[in-house]
């Protein structure tokens, strides 16, 4: 935990001194830094497949997709399987259509907050030693990311080369219009676009071919 506190201090010191860091965090951590509760949408940047499963639960009838859920999750630890209740006696309480939104909320709360609560607390203790919460309360999570890491250098041609199309072809006029607009955007507008599409302004180290989800 001393490491997390130390990292928090480094991030806070960088903001205080006006330095940019070549580091990006999950959207949920930026929200923790701002005192904002993460939502299930923030799970997409952490685990896209898990996020798709949560959307499936929310958007379809549980009986239609053959899911029988309880207010609990299974956690793999040291080769064993542990059942964790999301509410008291949750493993014996069935999730219904009426309660599935609460279930998804509790699952995300566990994944992004409860299970790593001590690490988050240590990081925030270090961060708040350097930056008081009220000083960054005016920012959104997206703005805080740009404050810490700066504007990315986005290669639109690399993005275009590694884009998969569904229902469209690269030669379609709508696609050509899109890329014409993309190349005309300012650096900050491109960063906002990348944040909107991927949940982060981070460009993969080896280009967009390594962007999670880009190739399935």
pLDDT in tens, 12-52: 999 998 888 888 888 899 999 999 999 988 888 888 888 99
What's CA 84's distance to the chain center, in Å? 23
The arithmetic mean of pLDDT across residues 107-129, rounded, is 94
Distance (Å, rounded) from C-alpha 157 to C-alpha 159?
Answer: 5
What's CA 150's distance to the chain center, in Å? 18
Taking phi over 0 as left and psi of -120 to 50 as alpha, with beta for the rest, 53 belongs to alpha
Nearest to 24 by CA among 156, 161, 198: 198
What confidence score (pLDDT) does residue 11 get? 95
For residue 127, pLDDT beyond 90:
yes
Assign 73 to helix, strand or coil. strand
For residue 202, pLDDT beyond 90:
no
DSSP characters over 85-96 = ESSTTGGGSB--
Identify the band that residue 215 occupies on the pLDDT scale cut at 50, 70 and 90: very low
Nearest to 131 by CA among 14, 4, 7: 14
Neighbours of 11 (CB within 10 A): 21
For residue 199, pLDDT beyond 80:
no
Question: Three-class SS string for 150-204?
Answer: CCCCCCHHHHHHCCCCCCCCCCCHHHHHHHHHHHHCCHHHHHHHHHHHHCCCCCC
CB 146 within 8 A of CB 191: yes
Distance (Å, rounded) from C-alpha 125 to C-alpha 2?
Answer: 10
| Residues 123/125/143/151 CA torsion (nearest 10 deg) | -50
Distance (Å, rounded) from C-alpha 204 to C-alpha 45?
Answer: 13
Please report, rounded to a whole number, the percentage of residues in the chain having pLDDT higher than 70: 93
Identify the band that residue 212 occupies on the pLDDT scale cut at 50, 70 and 90: low
Return mean pLDDT, the chain. Answer: 87
């Amino acid at each position: 935990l001393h490491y997390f506190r130390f990292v928090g201090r480094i991030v806070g010191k960088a903001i205080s001194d006006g330095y940019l860091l070549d580091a990006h965090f999950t959207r949920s951590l930026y929200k923790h830094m701002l005192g904002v509760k993460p939502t299930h949408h923030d799970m997409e940047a952490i685990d896209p497949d898990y996020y798709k499963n949560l959307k499936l639960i929310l958007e379809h009838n549980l009986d239609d997709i053959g899911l029988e859920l309880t207010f609990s999750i299974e956690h793999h630890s040291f080769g064993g399987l542990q059942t964790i209740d999301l509410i008291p006696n949750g493993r014996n309480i069935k999730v219904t259509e009426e309660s599935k939104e609460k279930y998804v909320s509790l699952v995300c709360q566990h994944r992004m907050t409860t299970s790593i609560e001590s690490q988050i607390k240590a990081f925030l203790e270090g961060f708040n030693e350097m930056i008081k919460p009220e000083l960054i309360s005016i920012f959104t999570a997206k703005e805080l990311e740009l404050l810490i890491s700066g504007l990315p250098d986005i290669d639109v041609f690399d993005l275009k080369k590694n884009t998969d199309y569904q229902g469209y072809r690269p030669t379609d006029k709508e696609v050509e219009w899109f890329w014409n607009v993309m190349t005309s955007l300012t650096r900050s507008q491109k960063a906002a676009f990348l944040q909107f599409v991927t949940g982060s302004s981070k460009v993969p180290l080896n280009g967009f071919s390594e962007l999670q989800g880009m190739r399935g």
